[in-house]
């Protein structure tokens, strides 16, 4: 199969449209290296691109995306930890000032967890990954008596809180947060409405 035509066309559009406008910035970033102040931990979902939502220019956001924007707890066990590796680089090498966990409405990963979806493969990578949401499910409590859509939104938001709590299990990051050098944030994107809510100190998501 050939390289997707959609990507060829998109690249041509980038090359004639955005690239000339950003060329000097790209050159400067290549020479100086990147120094983004903001890390975003988002979902793989194709509708929730952080660079699009935050209208970001090259070099502004350090982004790691995974199924359901989860952060696993600190576990230096010799296993492969993609999120932890990105976090280590962002915090200790790039010295980002902000880390944003960006959740969203209609998250397929959260839905799969909430509905106990059957594994897609014998490896059940999604099931294992989504089990990170167990503390969030516990915080939300029973789904009985709640409309399903409302339950899913509660789970999506509780999962953001759980990921923020897991960020604090990374000792070096925790020390930087306590010293006021790094700030952690939760945000929630409404796919249909395009609205963005930010988690306040009390744990409420407030539309901005």
Residues that bind Zn ion (CB under 5 A): 43, 45, 68, 107
Tokens of 175: 């020390």
Q: 19 or 120: whose CB is closer to Zn ion?
A: 120
CB of 159 to Zn ion, least distance (A): 10
Q: 45 or 60: whose CB is closer to Zn ion?
A: 45
Q: 68 or 173: whose CB is closer to Zn ion?
A: 68
CB of 142 to Zn ion, least distance (A): 23
Phi, psi of 205 (to 5 degrees): -95, 120
The rounded distance, in Å, linking the Cα atoms of 171 and 108 is: 31
The rounded distance, in Å, linking the Cα atoms of 53 and 49 is: 6
Cβ–Cβ under 8 Å, residues 131 and 163: no
CB of 125 to Zn ion, least distance (A): 15
| Residue 191 CB partners (closer than 8 Å, separation 6+) | 45, 47, 48, 104, 105, 106
The rounded distance, in Å, linking the Cα atoms of 132 and 130 is: 5
CB of 38 to Zn ion, least distance (A): 20
Q: 107 or 133: whose CB is closer to Zn ion?
A: 107
């Amino acid at each position: 199969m050939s390289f997707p035509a959609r990507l060829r066309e998109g690249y041509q559009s980038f090359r004639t449209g955005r690239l000339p406008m950003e060329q000097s910035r790209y050159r400067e970033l290549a020479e100086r290296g990147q120094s983004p102040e903001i890390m975003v931990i988002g979902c793989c979902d194709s509708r929730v691109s952080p660079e699009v939502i935050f209208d970001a220019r090259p070099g502004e956001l350090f982004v790691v995306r995974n199924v359901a924007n989860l952060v696993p707890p600190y576990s230096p066990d010799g296993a492969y930890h993609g999120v932890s590796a990105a976090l280590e680089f962002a915090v200790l090498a790039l010295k980002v000032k902000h880390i944003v966990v960006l959740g969203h409405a209609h998250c397929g990963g959260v839905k799969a967890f909430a509905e106990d979806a059957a594994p897609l493969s014998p490896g059940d990578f999604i099931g294992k990954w989504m089990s990170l949401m167990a503390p969030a499910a516990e915080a939300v409590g029973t789904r009985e008596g709640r409309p399903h859509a409302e339950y899913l939104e509660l789970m999506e938001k509780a999962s953001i809180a759980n990921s923020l709590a897991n960020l604090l299990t990374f000792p070096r990051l925790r020390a930087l947060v306590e010293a006021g050098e790094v700030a952690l944030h939760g945000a929630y994107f409404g796919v249909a409405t395009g609205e963005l809510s930010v988690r306040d100190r009390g744990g409420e998501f407030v539309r901005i």
